[in-house]
Amino acid sequence: MNTSSFVLTFLGTMIVAAPAALVAVLGICSLIDRRLSETVTARGVHAAAILGLASVVGLCVLMLVWDTRTVVIGLGHWVHIGAAELHEQHYHFSVKLIFDRLSILFGALSFILCGTIGVFATRYMHREAGYNRFFVLYSLFMAGMVTAAVAGTIETLFLGWELVGLSSALLVAFFQERPAPPRNGLLIWVVYRVSDAALLLAAIVLHHMSGEGDFEKLLGTGPWPQGQVYVSGTEALVVGMLLLIAAAGKSALLPFSGWLPRAMEGPTPSSAVFYGALSVHLGAYLLLRVSPLLDAAPGLSVVVLLLGLLTALYAALVGQTQTDIKSALSFASLTQLGLIVAEIGAGHWLPVWFRYVPLLHLLGHACLRTLQFIRAPSYLQDRRMLENAIGSRLSMTQVASGDESRLLPLWIYRFALERGYLDALLIDYVARPFLQVFRWLDRWERKGIEALAGDTSSEAIPTSRCLEDVEQAV
Amino acid sequence: MTAFPLTDLPTHVSASSSTTDLLQRLRVEIDHAAHLLPAQGPITVFIHHNTLHAFEHLPFDTAVKQAASIFGCEPYLSEDRYRDELVRGRIRFDSLRTILQADLGDRANDLVVGLVSRLELRLAMLTCPIWTGPADELRWFMEETDALRRCRSDVSATERGRLISETQRWVMRDVRGNAAHRELFVGFDERSIESWDSATWEAFALQALWHVCRTGVRSVRPAVSSPSGFLRPRDLLFRLTGLDIDTWVHEVLIRFCAAFLDQGVAHWPLPNRSAGLYHSFLKMYRLWGGPRERWLSSLSAEAARLQDQKVGPLESILESLVALGVSEEEWGEFLSATLLALRGWGGMVREVESRGDRVPHPIPPGSLVEFVAIRLLLDRVALGHAAAEELGLVGPLSRVRSELSRRLPPPVPIAAEQRAMPVFQLAQIFGWSPGELHSLSCEAWPLLLHEIESFNEIERRRIFHLAYEKQLRVRTLDALALHAPRRRVGPPRLQVITCLDEREESYRRHLEELAPDCDTYGTAGFFAVPMYYRGAAEAYFVPLCPIVMTPNNWVEEEPVEEKVHRRVRKVQKALGVAAHKAHVGTRSLAVGALLTTTFGMLASLPLVGRTLFPRLAAQLRRLFGRAVQHPPQTCLSLERAPGIEPSPENGHRGFTLSEMAAMTERLLRDIGLVDQFARLVLILGHGSGSLNNPHRSAYDCGACGGSPGAPNARALAAMLNNRSVRLKLADRGILIPDTSWFVGGYHNTCDDSVSLFDQDLPASHRRELEQIQHKLDQASDRNAHERCRRFMSAPLTLTPAEARRHVEARSEDLAQTRPELGHATNAICYVGRRERTRGLFFDRRAFLASYDPTQDDAVGTILARTLTAVFPVCGGISLEYYFSHVDAAGYGAGTKLPHNVTSMLGVMDGAQSDLRTGLPWQMTEIHEPVRLLIVCECTPRVMHHILANNQVIQRMTENAWVQLALQSPDTGAISVYQAGEFRPYTPRVSQLPTAPTSADWYRGWRGHLEFAEIG
């Protein structure tokens, strides 16, 4: 048994270590300005993905053979305050990986997609000026994604979560010589911060409740999806709501959906793997991971169900009017994502096996959408081929009959075309009042200091350009 | 919340009696401004054209400069690029000198303020980078680098020595003890001056020089940087506050235009589309429309007013111009600046409006005017909001504009240091001592500065560019002049007619190397058969001819076995409908959920397979699809009974016999193939197959309007095999023997496959065809091998067979952004007999059009009609590549990676941007931007006659958009067009390099190659 636990620990560690090593190699070489050649970078990406995938598969096989449903690997207690037996003061912070039916599948998906798209990108990015930068960020993304997938504590999850967010935002801003990509990258980063803040708050609340961030503690020791939570309904609701906000930001659920089409600024492979497949599904994955919490809190489940359905309806509506292929695909993606979330919410009232439905939906959707995204530049050819097969032009009748306003109220069309006014709603009616309050405070502070100092020393106080920068960006 | 009226005087404008005249003028102005918009049509039929077509009435150099300032783009390559080429030997130093000499004429040897000849001065400015920068940077540079301690590294030891010794002389003689020069000694120990070492002297000399230069420049009237172009209110606001209201306006405008122009991406089309851009916009935006952006808050009232008062688009533009305070004299400039702010979309509106036949869903005429109308409406609203918010400017908008210009800080005069810097550097290069410069008179300084500054960066790049072109011209003409005409060996066994495309140059060369008894011909790839064509498995007719022609005839591919075909079509249709439903389904709610949950995971198979093993996946796909992909056997329905009107209807398709005879005769006479027909004549159309490539059509045959030219080749072959056509041809003097057989075919320039149609030959020819197919296959391998040397991702050690597999994988690879390199190497066009170029290695750089001057009449009738196609088509390709390369982001489409197909018409960068016109960087990366050198085999007399009678050819030649040279049909002597006449050319070398085969010459080298004789 000792050997077997050693093998499992080794494989489990490899899963996280392989992409982390890639980050280290690519990152350090860039930092000391010894850029690796295209071929070496490509080999590194392939090796990390293959190694990681092999470890996942190996682990999975061994778990099946040895009939283990959950493997938990501790990577050390990093902070430990108070004696364990005195429950009151106990606080600890550990890095833990958990492998069960959920995380193994999601981890394998991450490696398959990251690996395939990594191969794709080594050819696609050939001779591009930012080749090295792309792969540094890409490896960071892969490491973050895998870490978040197999995280056993909320802190570990947060680490992966942050890496994914950071690398995504930077890759959206990849083409930095044009103004739009950095602007949209910053916008995404702002939304991600909101979601990160919610996740961090959830972590704090969790620690407050149980003294530790381990999912085992929160969700019970039963293997997923049969967890049994030990927290009260209210506590579950509070933590659950915070996690839901975090998930909504990451998965572009309402009301954060506006950023998803804007994320298509990056090169096609990163758009495909991030917004078609992995990054956007991370929110849904988080909800799946804490599904025992949903079982304990019917109120929370209702909210998740409603939010999912609303998002799905919204995205389906908006998707109908998108005129460019990448936006159309991103809203199609969001439609399914909304449904996946709704399925997770609905799981509360359905038998335990239903938890596998959103998981299956998620995996299938990720594969299909990635394929569609990387084929997006072929849209014109694909369409011509379809038209040839069918023998007539597509959608001729639709466009030719000009006046559909009788069938479809004009305002609905406009709502869809303007993407539900979500950008305006968030920027002009949420962010702006905040900024105005901060500006106002800033002015008062200035006046106060002037009054105290007794002279006009306002020159000494640096103007808060930062606020304006953000406003400019949004 | 905006506290000012959006328009000042809607009533009195409409009341004015001269409104109609004004509106008429306005329409003309808009039309005029619209000429600057990119003239690129829908991307599915990419037509190469001169990016600066609107400037063709100007000489090339003037045009690129003007366009550079209007569009904010680069006219030539960067100076650094040219200097690299100079170092590399691609630009020769002595050509720089001769070109400068020719450029300056008599003024070349004038002395500039007694220091140096103008020629030497300019030459130095070309070879040594003369740098100057912003005042702050310059100050930093002088203080923090050793610019004032050491001479520039490119200053020779002699000049450095001269500078030091002359300075010493001057200092010891005139400076010491002179109170006026006291400040020169700051930082130096004057007392020990006699024991200064050479480093100290060098530093002193440089500081003194810098001091003298600055003092000299200060004595000259300060220059002010010239105002750049017309400033729209948005530009003023942007300069003042950094706020760009165009981002607001464009977001709404792009979204709306894309919906209006959409050819079928969105499932819901724009409501009221048929009412036109303007009215559908007003109708939609007059709604309250939810919590829209704050700046848009006043739009709905304004839209409602415009609609209720029935203000038309032109009247609305007039209102906007008045409201924005644009005076009538400024209309032209203002409108073109406004249109150019979103040039891609504006251009597309114009293209779709004017060529409605090229899109499935055309838009009404006048759409561009409506586009301007809503653009200005949005501009007004945005400007009002921004001015009130940012600057607290409340009041009529017309005053906002003047207020903005008033607040704009005045232009800063150029600092003396900035102007002194070039003099300082040139002084080091020429070894002018501080004493010499100090003694310059007050009149001399302005002259010196003018002399230096008038040879500014653009002028330097112009000269560089001429030298860059000259080198290639000399090489080409040398090769043509020295190469002895080479004919095939023995009687012709095979004749091959291909497109004149420069990508076929290598294919023809390899084929001739493999089969010395074979003749090849080049002509425009539609083979003189203009038609609308529909394949048996295609949905609609496509025009297959150059864009300047409109076909009169329709041709359809018909299955031989109708029954089988119907069954196949049924299966195809069912599969197509299912595939379409599935695709739409994955984008919908319920079906999408069902599909992704159940079959979603299966998508990982093609995903992984096609990414990791593109070639294998493609073979599998083909194997699977063979059953339903193509009808087993087809033929073209070519013959139409005389007296029936041509139309796409059944029975009206095809050509009459006399039409066919006329077309075939024209083609055969064009290429000079009127006798000595071989037993087999192949006609190869070409196209390119690649995946994930929105610009794919740009790789197809330009002469077929951006489609593959296979049907044209097939049709021509069928016509020439037709007994009745042959009889008619015989009447006209072209006797095709019964033993000759024509076969149409298709060359895929991406995977280098050649497939032949209608192979049901007479039994007598079958064996020969088999042998020939073997040769073709070998030629394909060799051609692929030659192409592979240009792909960085293909090892140089590939064998021809491996190279073939490599290019096959490229064409099937989703991740490949360079499936092939297109026309990226084009530089030359030769119009003449193949003997002149046969056996010359032209490195896939030459368009080769066959033309036999001995069969033409005295005024060059045949040549003239060949050239009317060659000039705009080949010249257009060459110029489009030129501009997309010299400014990839401005004239070109930038990098392909973030491209996003929009409305089925074009590509945007990322989520939302202007439509990107021009060619993507990946297509033009290895291109050498030079103007096409057209060499015709004819006499000057014939050419003068053609020039005089053909405006397009004349304009492009006289304004130097192409270079023109002639080769004498009799002696082979070359003459070059210069300022209206043909001047004899003498080769610079006496011998060309030779190699036994092409592969021996290009082996192991990735870059462009010199031309050589093969065999």
Over residues A31-75, the pLDDT tens digits come to 998 888 888 999 999 999 999 999 999 988 988 888 887 888 877
B930: left (phi over 0), alpha (psi -120 to 50) or beta: beta
| Cα first-last separation, chain B | 82
CB atoms within 10 A of CB B274: 15
In this prediction, residue A228 carries a pLDDT of 73
pLDDT in tens, B74-100: 999 999 999 999 999 999 999 999 999
Size of the A and B interface in Cβ pairs below 8 Å: 321
Residue entry with tokens 């409602």: B304
Separation between Cα atoms, residue A45 and residue A18, nearest integer Å: 10
Q: Which range among A197-201, B619-623, B767-771 shows the weakest confidence by mean pLDDT? A: B619-623
Task: Judge if the upstream peptide bond of residue B485 is cis by omega within 30 degrees of 0.
Answer: no
Q: Which range among A241-255, B640-654, B848-862 shows the weakest confidence by mean pLDDT? A: B640-654
Residue B816 DSSP one-character state: -
In this prediction, residue A89 carries a pLDDT of 52
Is residue A324 within 8 angstroms of chain B, CB to CB? yes
Q: Residue B744: pLDDT band by 50, 70, 90 thresholds?
A: very high
Is residue A417 within 8 angstroms of chain B, CB to CB? yes
Which phi and psi (to 5°) does residue B544 adopt? -115, 85
Mean pLDDT of B624-629: 66
The dihedral through the CA atoms of A44, A45, A51, A54 has a sign that is negative
The dihedral through the CA atoms of B602, B608, B611, B615 has a sign that is negative
In this prediction the ipTM stands at: 0.89
Which residues of A, range 339-368, sit inside 8 Å of B by Cβ? 339, 357, 360-361, 363-368
Q: Residue B867: pLDDT band by 50, 70, 90 thresholds?
A: very high
Separation between Cα atoms, residue B291 and residue A354, nearest integer Å: 39
pLDDT higher than 90, residue B225: no
Is residue A396 within 8 angstroms of chain B, CB to CB? yes
Q: Which range among A77-86, B331-340, B685-694 shows the weakest confidence by mean pLDDT? A: A77-86
Q: Residue B627: pLDDT band by 50, 70, 90 thresholds?
A: low
Which residues of A, range 429-458, sit inside 8 Å of B by Cβ? 429, 432
In this prediction, residue B272 carries a pLDDT of 85
Q: Which range among A456-460, B458-462, B962-966 shows the weakest confidence by mean pLDDT? A: A456-460
Q: Residue B271 in contact with residue A415, Cβ under 8 Å?
A: no
Pick B292's closest partner by Cβ from A122, A372, A424.
A424
For residues B587-616, one letter each, b for 16 or more C-beta atoms within 10 angstroms of the residue's C-beta and e for the rest, the string is bbbeebbebbbeebbebbebbbbbbeebbe
Beta strand B828-832 with B846-850 is parallel
What residue segments make up the domains of chain B, in order of their start?
Answer: 135-224+414-456, 231-407, 494-560+633-1002, 562-629
Find all residues with CB under 8 Å of B483, minimum gap 6, and list them: B836, B837, B839, B840, B992, B1013
Mean pLDDT of B366-370: 93
Q: Residue B334: pLDDT band by 50, 70, 90 thresholds?
A: very high
Pick A361's closest partner by Cβ from B540, B593, B602.
B593
Pick the closest to residue A120 from B609, B934, B634, B462 (CA basis): B609
Q: Residue B287 in contact with residue A411, Cβ under 8 Å?
A: yes
Residues making up chain B, counted from first to last: 1015
Maximum average pLDDT range among A408-422, B389-403, B633-647, B828-842? B828-842
Q: Encode chain A (474 residues) as per-residue pLDDT tens digits.
A: 478 888 888 888 888 899 999 999 999 998 998 888 888 999 999 999 999 999 999 988 988 888 887 888 877 777 776 655 545 556 677 788 888 888 888 999 999 999 999 999 999 999 888 899 999 999 999 999 999 999 888 888 999 999 999 999 999 999 988 888 998 999 899 899 989 999 999 988 888 877 777 777 777 666 777 777 777 778 888 888 999 999 999 999 988 998 898 888 888 888 888 887 888 999 999 998 888 888 888 889 999 999 999 999 999 999 988 999 999 999 999 999 999 999 999 988 888 888 889 999 999 999 888 988 888 888 888 888 888 888 777 764 444 444 454 557 888 888 888 888 888 888 888 888 888 899 899 999 988 988 888 755 444 444 444 444 444 444
Is residue A416 within 8 angstroms of chain B, CB to CB? yes
Pick A388's closest partner by Cβ from B539, B692, B696.
B539
Is residue A281 within 8 angstroms of chain B, CB to CB? no
In this prediction, residue A464 carries a pLDDT of 43
* Chain A residues with beta carbon closer than 8 angstroms to that of B579: 386, 389
In this prediction, residue A162 carries a pLDDT of 92
pLDDT in tens, B784-813: 999 999 999 899 999 999 999 999 999 888
A interface mutation test: which of B280, B589, B806, B818 has the most A CBs within 10 A? B589
Is residue A471 within 8 angstroms of chain B, CB to CB? no
Q: Which range among B217-226, B542-551, B930-939 shows the weakest confidence by mean pLDDT? A: B217-226
Residue entry with tokens 């499935």: B360
Q: Residue B628: pLDDT band by 50, 70, 90 thresholds?
A: low
Pick B264's closest partner by Cβ from A316, A327, A395.
A395
The verdict on a CB contact (< 8 Å) between A364 and B262 is no
In this prediction, residue B14 carries a pLDDT of 45
Separation between Cα atoms, residue A339 and residue A305, nearest integer Å: 9
Distance from the Cα of B150 to chain A's closest Cα (Å) equals 29
pLDDT higher than 50, residue B762: yes
Chain A's closest residue to B697, CA to CA, is A381
pLDDT in tens, B542-552: 889 888 788 99
Separation between Cα atoms, residue A183 and residue A171, nearest integer Å: 12
Q: Which range among A38-52, A53-67, B212-226, B953-967 shows the weakest confidence by mean pLDDT? A: B212-226
Separation between Cα atoms, residue B196 and residue B552, nearest integer Å: 89
The verdict on a CB contact (< 8 Å) between B792 and A126 is yes
DSSP string, A371-384: HHHHTGGGHHHHHH
* pTM of the predicted model as reported, rounded to 2 decimal places: 0.92
In this prediction, residue B228 carries a pLDDT of 63
Maximum average pLDDT range among A88-97, B620-629, B981-990? B981-990
Is residue A371 within 8 angstroms of chain B, CB to CB? yes
In this prediction, residue B1013 carries a pLDDT of 93
Q: Residue B1: pLDDT band by 50, 70, 90 thresholds?
A: very low
